[in-house]
Amino acid sequence: MERWVGRVAVVTGASVGIGAALVEELVKKGLLVVGIARRVEKVEELARNLKSEKGKLHPLKCDVSKETEIRDAFKWIKSNLGGVDILVNNAAIAKNSNLMDGPFENWKTIIDLNVLGLSLCTSEALAIMRENGVDDGHIIHINSMAGHSVPESPLLAYMYSVSKHAVTVLAEGLRRELRSKNSKIRVTSVSPGKTFTEFMAASGRPFHPVEFYTSGPYLTGKDIADSIVFALSAPPHVQLNEISITPVDKP
Ligand code: NDP
């Protein structure tokens, strides 16, 4: 990770869960981290409790489902920190979103954040990287096992799975686009299995049976953060395209 020390990483969804665990790891490793969330006070609290010689956490309030807020956030990052070297698109939501009983509003909330918000953050970060001549940048999309196959739960909210399949395509498509422009910026899709976070509570009406989230085995946010650090640590000529992570006894 030495080459990233003092460089800028932007992490969306940094207030709790996987994002909070990740910003902690990156700050400890000496990066300047922008932690984006709507509940910015939670990121501020994290910043107060983090001790690092070189690293620093900059909390930034932004709703990643809103175009103007995203554009303003990246303007702030450019003018206050000079640029972006790493973007981790982590913010996402799941809601009851079946076609037979999931309301249209929920479909829209999911797509606005998980697909369009992720895409716009990526586009804004890449524009700044290119402006600054950064050719060793890294874009990481937090995907899901639901981005590769449709989970079998009878109460499945499959618009979430649609959004995560889109993330799989967005990672692959961007990799091709970057190669066509001879860019060496890397793109990694990280797909966690069941991880113990606020995710279910944030999703409103549970769409999995309650036992799904109240019984293990689970991964922790730190498990996922460690895998992201692993991807970032690969030498610049190595690209990890896809990392999927499950608890060892629940593949
Ligand atoms: P949490 O619900 O614990 O955290 C989600 C984060 O996203 C929060 O920091 C929340 O911050 C942020 N967020 C939600 N909506 C918005 C928004 N509109 N604008 C900005 N930030 C927003 O979830 P996890 O940590 O579990 O999930 C992180 C990622 O991992 C997601 O992409 C999820 O799909 C993926 N994942 C999770 C799994 C799990 O089992 N937990 C399994 C597979 C994938 P705030 O509310 O303060 O804005």
What's 164's domain CATH number?
3.40.50.720
Query: Based on the structure, what is the number of domains in the chain?
Result: 1
DSSP-assigned states of every residue in the chain: -GGGTT-EEEEES-SSHHHHHHHHHHHHTT-EEEEEES-HHHHHHHHHH---SS-EEEEEE--TT-HHHHHHHHHHHHHHHS--SEEEE---------TTTS-HHHHHHHIIIIIIIHHHHHHHHHHHHHHTT--S-EEEEE--GGGTS----TT--HHHHHHHHHHHHHHHHHHHHHHHTT---EEEEEEE-SB-SSHHHHTSS-SS-HHHHHS---B-HHHHHHHHHHHHHS-TT----EEEE--TT--
The pLDDT value given to residue 194: 86
Give the distance (Å) from ligand 1 centre to CA of residue 42. 14
Q: Is residue 230 part of a domain?
A: yes
Mean pLDDT by 10 residues, the chain (251 residues): 96 97 97 98 97 94 98 98 98 90 92 98 98 96 94 74 97 98 97 86 57 73 98 95 90 57
Domain-located, residue 251 = no
| Catalytic site positions | 160
Note whether residue 126 is domain-resident: yes
Q: Is residue 89 part of a domain?
A: yes
Q: Is 189 near ligand 1, meaning CB less than 6 Å away?
A: no
Nearest CA to ligand 1 atom 34: 92
* ipTM value: 0.99
Q: 245 in ligand 1 pocket by Cβ < 6 Å?
A: no
Q: Side chain identity at 61, as an amino acid letter? A: K
Phi-psi region of 140 (alpha: psi -120 to 50; beta: other; left: phi over 0): beta
- The answer, yes or no, to whether any atom of ligand 1 lies below 6 A from the CB of 147, is no
On whether residue 93 sits in a domain, the answer given is yes
Would 153 be classed as within a structural domain? yes
Note the pLDDT of residue 212.
61
Question: Is the residue at 250 inside a domain?
Answer: no
92 lines ligand 1 (CB under 6 A): yes
Q: Domain residues for 9?
A: 2-245
